[in-house]
Amino acid sequence: MFEPLTEPFMQRAIVEMTLLALAGGALGCWVVLYELSYAAESLAHSLFPGLVIAAIAGIPLLLGATPAVVLAALAIAVASRLPGVGRDVGVAVVVTTMFGLGVLLALSPDSPPGVEALLFGDILGPSDGDIAAAAALVLLVAVALPLLHGRLLATGFDRDAARALGLSPAFADAALLVLLAAATVVAVQGLGNLLVVAVFVGPAATARNLTDRIGPMIAVAAAVAVLAGLAGLYLSYYAGTAGGASVALAIVALYLLSLPLGLRGTDGGRLSPAGGYDH
């Protein structure tokens, strides 16, 4: 049980994964309740060309991922406003275009070896910068979510009532998406372009099956994310499997284990944005 903890690379991986789990679990509750799971996946995939360009140029991945997120968000906003084009269609077009562009760049002769790590991450080899970015993300989430809690709660419960209270649903939506984009940019370096969405959706979906109160849901989601992160790293250490994929597998396993408990609920949906929240 304690052997992996004696390995320096595992110690760093556990620190990185724990930080990402805390931020992803807490933020993921609002992602799930606001039905932004598809948006989370879309943002992650849209980062790919920026990550590849950063790898080719030899610059930090954050510098490539950030403008890619901004470009994708602007493109989705424009596409969604075109006549006859719905929001889902606009998102799908932008995501497939960005991801396809990333694949083309990754297959170019200038692409460095090991570019596949951008797809699946390298949670077992975080740099000092990666850990610092993850710590900054936890701090950002810890400060922003309590400040936004009332707005997010009111908007999720009843958007019309939130307007009557002088709150702006658009502001709550935008703030949540900005936090999600920032978290995705940071987490994608460890968990990869294809797997990063797991930490924002899986733990929160699991917690939703276990509690019907928003406060406990956030706490349970963070705990589930940390537990899945540790389980995935241990699996990777002893089975020799990929770190990011092992963490994603552990998250899915915990979600499946929570399903029977969730099915016992009388209302089935619980905690839906259109339904209501229990303070």
Q: How far is residue 164 from each of residues 102, 168, 172, measured CA to CA in Å?
A: 44, 9, 15
Mean pLDDT of the chain: 84
Phi, psi values for residue 164, rounded to 5°: -65, -25
| Residue 98 within a domain | yes
Question: In whole angstroms, what is the distance from residue 88 CA to residue 18 CA?
Answer: 33
Q: Given a cut of 60, is residue 264 above it in pLDDT?
A: no
| Residue 74 within a domain | yes
Domain of residue 66, CATH code? 1.10.3470.10
Range of the domain at 26: 3-263
| Residue 275 within a domain | no
Q: How confident is the model at residue 61 (pLDDT cuts 50, 70, 90)?
A: confident
| Residue 216 within a domain | yes
Domains contained in the chain, number: 1
Q: Greater confidence, 239 or 44?
A: 239
Q: Given a cut of 60, is residue 106 above it in pLDDT?
A: yes
| Residue 269 within a domain | no
Residues 46-63 have a mean pLDDT of 85
| Residue 278 within a domain | no
Q: How far is residue 201 from each of residues 26, 155, 231, measured CA to CA in Å?
A: 10, 20, 17
| Residue 39 within a domain | yes
| Residue 272 within a domain | no
- Return the pLDDT at 269: 45
Token pair belonging to 150: 């009332």
pLDDT tens profile 202-245: 999 999 999 988 889 999 999 999 999 999 999 999 998 888 88
- Return the pLDDT at 272: 47
